[in-house]
Structure 1
Amino acid sequence: MISQDRTRAAAGFILLYAVVIGFTDNYVRVIADEAGLWQFHLTRSVMALAILAAVAPALGLRLRPVDWRAVAARSAIHGTAMLIYFGALAFLPVAQVAAGLFTAPIFVLVISRFVYGERIGPVRVLAVLTGFAGVLLVLGPEAMAGASFAAGLPVLAGLLYGMGNIATRAWCPQESAGTLLGGFFVALGVLGAAGLAVLALVSLPVPEGPDGFVMRGFVVPSQDFWFWTFVQAAGSLFAVGMMIRAYQAATASRVSVFEYVILPASAIWGWLLWDERLSPVAAAGMALIALAGIAIAVGSRPPAATATPA
């Protein structure tokens, strides 16, 4: 029997996701220089939903949910994780925030084992630990520096992100990628609108540039904002669609390991776009990340068919 857990196909989807997200996320710094987190999420969501509605008939995408409650719950979890992640960037180093988010595969492994009773072999456990060690090497020792409530926020984002990834397959097995895509951007759009409404009522001192990303309310956007937000919307729509397909193709505890490839993809784009260079230690971390992906792919292959006596 052919396994329905198409691990190699899921790895391909995640690779496409990482390459596109690595490019678009490198330009968030350009958007943050003039606009705020909430306006960015609301504008990007409106653009992404408009694109999705336009292409859905041509691609035959089903957008209506089978289970509204399951889609809404998954969308709320993923949307909140992304808000916490981006919000923490306002007062924590990027390395520390990213390291916290990439604890998600560990949470996926624990939840899959103790909540859903999934059998987790030693290969996948080792792959997760190896990949996370590679993350720490890529980000550097400052990634784990500090211990405070603020430092725990990225880990909370990682927990929610992992829960959302499990929910993709466990709660929404009959939903289409188009439905889950739409739900994700609706949730972020609603949260963005809520943030703008609060900031319209509460006046806060807003620092200039990226330092004011979280506290900045509505501003009159420039052409650069419109352009790069549209790039973000189109790129995120495609990339998140690939991620959803990956989590529909294989179990979350397997696919989550492949997501470590986002870090080297982002680093390569950073080098190409901004001439940001990696240290030898970071390169060693990338090698560990690649090793984790290979280990999980090999360890997930179904056993070869054997001939039986007539």
Structure 2
Amino acid sequence: MTTSTSASGAVHNPAVGIGFILFGIVAISINDMLIKVLSGGYPLHQMVFTRSIIGIVFSLMLVQMEGGWRILKTNTPGLHLLRAMMLVVANLTFFSALASLPLAETTAIFFIAPLLITLLSIPFLGEKVGPLRIGAVVVGFAGVVIMVRPWEGGDSRPVAWYVYLLPILAALTYAINQLLTRKLGVASKASAMTVYVQVNFIVVTLIFWAIAGDGRYAVGIENESLIFLLRAWEWPQGRDVWLLLGLGLNSAVIGYALAQAYRLADAGTIAPFEYIGLPLAIFWGWMIWGEWPTPMVMIGIILVLGSGLFVFLRERQKGRRLVSGKRVHRRY
């Protein structure tokens, strides 16, 4: 595959884009596993703050490699702020869900993001979505319903039903973030966009620390996700120091790899490769916690996976570019 430049100025190199997305998804699976491992002893905002402080150092090194401080200048600060805040919300809600839900189940629900993108493409991109793709979206959401199991009573389910809203919100905000990434990636380097995100993570988590860093709001709470979010800060000990350092390095790798992947290739080319995150989540859940999806959850995972892949394959079959000209590229 060769590198080309579109009329809008975006560089296209699908082979390299696929390489970046595979590298980024493996890094994400390791990140999610580490977050869940540490969720029992540290608050989420402390972990996000720590990894962002470390991650921004590596991101600034990448800035120097890609052109120096000048590439941090942008003519669209508002859009960059919106993109970064969408990713902040996506991370906080997804990680909060990990404290209560199995890794594979949380990841599977999150993978409704491409289906949400299909729906968002109608009002935001003016795209016509046919009955087959709408049907795939319905099947995917049916898979989520099966995993959530709203028909089960409170005594028979391990967590409250509203905890399942966390990965759904994460999927929605992540999808919006990816829509913005493709638009902003025409004029902004991947390393610069990573720095913007890291700065927002640091600011938001410092606000959390100022309000709830002593853990007073976690007193008397039984919900594991809320405890994870509001627990008091703890100084890391032993191996946890190295795990937190690993999170910081991983955050820089993830931000750069995903931004670079979607700058270099259309979403329809590389987004299906993100689905390797599902078997990786199942693997880590089995390897670390001995978790294995129940038959009902596995049915839901298959429906979400199948419907998401169908959407992309259908677009390929119809031979349509996700957008052209000045329109925003559809993203996952």
Q: Is the 8 A contact 1:45 1:185 kept in 2?
A: yes
Q: CA RMSD in A?
A: 4.0
Q: Deviations over 1:80-133 (max 9, x none)?
A: 221222234556676665455333222211222221223556776666667667
TM-score by length of 2: 0.72
Aligned pairs (5 A) from 1:124-143: 140=147, 142=149
Distance 2:73 2:252 in 1: 18
Q: Label 1:92 to 1:27 Cα distance change in 2 as closer, same or farther (>3 A).
A: closer
Aligned pairs (5 A) from 1:53-202: 53-58=60-65, 60=67, 63-66=71-74, 67-89=76-98, 97-120=106-129, 140=147, 142=149, 151-200=164-213
**Does 1:50 find its partner at 2:39?**
no
Aligned to 1:300: 316
Q: Is the 8 A contact 1:41 1:188 kept in 2?
A: yes
Number of aligned residues: 301
Distance 1:132 1:254 in 2: 23
Q: Is the 8 A contact 2:286 2:292 kept in 1?
A: yes
Gaps of 5+ in 2: 7-11, 154-159, 320-332
Q: Tell me, what secondary structure is at the counterpart of 2:172?
A: helix
| Aligned partner of 2:230 among 197, 215, 219 | 215
AA matched with 1:175: S
Q: Is the 8 A contact 1:105 1:253 kept in 2?
A: no
Larger deviation, residues 216-225 vs 81-90: 81-90
AA matched with 2:202: G
AA matched with 1:39: Q
Larger deviation, residues 244-253 vs 74-83: 244-253
| Aligned partner of 1:267 among 262, 273, 282 | 282
Gaps of 5+ in 1: 304-310
Q: % of aligned pairs identical?
A: 26
Q: Tell me, what secondary structure is at the counterpart of 1:26?
A: helix
AA matched with 1:268: F
Larger deviation, residues 259-268 vs 276-285: 276-285
**Does 1:248 find its partner at 2:263?**
yes
Q: Is the 8 A contact 1:21 1:239 kept in 2?
A: yes
Q: Label 1:264 to 1:135 Cα distance change in 2 as closer, same or farther (>3 A).
A: farther
AA matched with 1:300: R
Q: Is the 8 A contact 1:261 1:290 kept in 2?
A: no
Aligned to 1:26: 33
Q: Is the 8 A contact 1:42 1:192 kept in 2?
A: yes
Q: Tell me, what secondary structure is at the counterpart of 1:204?
A: helix
Q: Deviations over 1:217-255 (max 9, x none)?
A: 222221333211111121222123221123223455765
Q: Is the 8 A contact 1:104 1:256 kept in 2?
A: no
Distance 1:291 1:110 in 2: 13
| Aligned partner of 1:13 among 8, 11, 20 | 20
Distance 1:110 1:141 in 2: 21
AA matched with 1:262: G
Aligned pairs (5 A) from 1:223-238: 223-238=238-253
Q: Label 1:22 to 1:90 Cα distance change in 2 as closer, same or farther (>3 A).
A: closer
Q: Deviations over 1:27-58 (max 9, x none)?
A: 21332222111111111100001122234434
Q: What's the CA shift for 1:278? A: 5.4
